[in-house]
Amino acid sequence: MVHPREALFDAGETAASIPVCDHYAGVEARMRKSLELQAELGPVFDVTLDCEDGAPIGGEVEHAHMVAELVMSPLNRHGRVGARVHPVDHPAFEHEVETIARIAGERLAYLMVPKPRDLADVTRACDEIDHVIRVHGAGRRFPLHLLIETHGALRDVDAIAAHPRVESLSFGLMDFVSAHRGAIPASAMSASGQFMHPLVLRAKLEIAAACHAHGKTPSHSVVTEFSDRSAVAEAAEKACRQLGYTRMWSIHPSQIRPIVEAFAPTAAEVDQAIDIISAAHAADWAPIRHRDTLHDRASYRYFWQVLERAERTGQPLPAQVREAFFEPEGTA
């Protein structure tokens, strides 16, 4: 029988299936601990090794070498480790990209580029990265993620999301608020305030809408109150359930589990999706009746995405469902 990905979606219609949590670490000891935690929990979250905020001034090249070596090390057990470099106009950008692409390009999950000022910056960054890959890398065009945190990037966000080299867009809350020169209060950077200020909400919604329009993954901004687990959980729940985000940043290991749990579907949602997708699969994707409700290909798409989110967040699935839809032989 035809797999849901083939039966329900046209080519290029779905976003890449990547973990719902993106955890950042910039200091070597924290990088190693993050990779150890990922090995323990499994690939339910990505680890982004940070060159922008992690590298000491003057030590950017050495830091990039360390990042590349960690990507290639046995600590990268699941192949879900990315890196963030400096902005495209920073003197260290080219050296960092060259070092990481040359040493770790074959295993790098993605490269995050911060602070593009507009679409032109994005195009320049993508072109320079691809040139480095051709000259110095292993030939693999690893995915690119971008951080939307400037007025110009937000203005061009639909065109940026449409760029074929872009896999995910993140919202940079702190820099976005700072770019308003005090017009947005500091409270808008808090766990609760960032869901209340109209200018911040507008930015979040425009990023999410642009990503979904072009099959890319929208990644939500940070919660700086890292010791307040309930604040992290509440913010993640709002990002997922209200604003349409399918991924969120973590800046402390204590935030990873609350984010993954918030982005996971409930047991009731998973059970309903299993019933409907299994029945639709048996009917070769013709319309079905489930508990006195008609379902067809339009609703099948939604329920299949619930199952995919359950799998990405490590939710338990029946063996027959996993074998039919998520094991290699079930995805042919």
**Sequence-separated (6 or more) residues with CB below 8 Å from residue 82:** 22, 46, 47, 48, 49, 108, 109, 110, 111, 112, 145
- Residue 134: C-alpha distances to residues 67, 91, 319 (Å): 20, 21, 42
**Is the pLDDT assigned to residue 328 strictly greater than 80?**
no
Identify the CATH assignment for 21-263 out of 1.10.3720.10, 3.20.20.80, 1.10.260.30, 3.20.20.60: 3.20.20.60
Model confidence at 2, in pLDDT bands (50, 70, 90)? confident
- Per residue in 271-303, is it b (16+ CB within 10 Å) or e — as a string? ebbbebbbebbeeebeebeeeeeebeeebbeeb
Distance from C-alpha of 16 to C-alpha of 324, rounded to nearest angstrom: 20
**278: which 2 tokens?**
């299994």
One-letter amino acid for residue 76 of the chain: N
Exposed/middle/buried for residue 71 (C-beta within 10 Å: 0-12, 13-18, 19+) = buried
Asked if 264 contacts 307 with a C-beta cutoff of 8 angstroms, the reply is no
Distance from C-alpha of 254 to C-alpha of 101, rounded to nearest angstrom: 30
Can you give the residue ranges of every domain in the chain? 21-263, 266-330
Q: Where are the extended beta strands (E) located within 202-295?
A: 217-220, 247-250, 288-290, 293-295
pLDDT at 332: 35
**Is the pLDDT assigned to residue 81 strictly greater than 90?**
yes
- Residue 323: C-alpha distances to residues 34, 183, 317 (Å): 30, 54, 10
* 294 backbone dihedrals φ, ψ, rounded to 5°: -80, 135
Which of these, 100, 9, 45, 62, lies nearest to 249 by C-alpha position? 45
Identify the weakest region by mean pLDDT among 62-66, 144-148, 255-259, 327-331: 327-331
Asked if 177 contacts 226 with a C-beta cutoff of 8 angstroms, the reply is no
Distance from C-alpha of 14 to C-alpha of 216, rounded to nearest angstrom: 8
Average pLDDT of the segment spanning 257-285: 96
Tens digit of each residue's pLDDT (9 = 90 or more) over 86-118: 999 999 999 999 999 999 999 999 999 999 999
Separation of CA 22 from chain center: 6
Distance from C-alpha of 309 to C-alpha of 323, rounded to nearest angstrom: 16
Helical packing angle, 28-41 and 60-71, nearest 10°: 20
**161: which 2 tokens?**
């999301």
Q: Structure pTM?
A: 0.93
pLDDT at 123: 98
pLDDT at 330: 40
Average pLDDT of the segment spanning 47-66: 95
pLDDT at 226: 85
R_g of the chain computed on alpha carbons: 20
Average pLDDT of the segment spanning 249-260: 96
**Is the pLDDT assigned to residue 276 strictly greater than 60?**
yes
One-letter amino acid for residue 165 of the chain: R
**Is the pLDDT assigned to residue 244 strictly greater than 80?**
yes
Average pLDDT, rounded, for the chain: 94
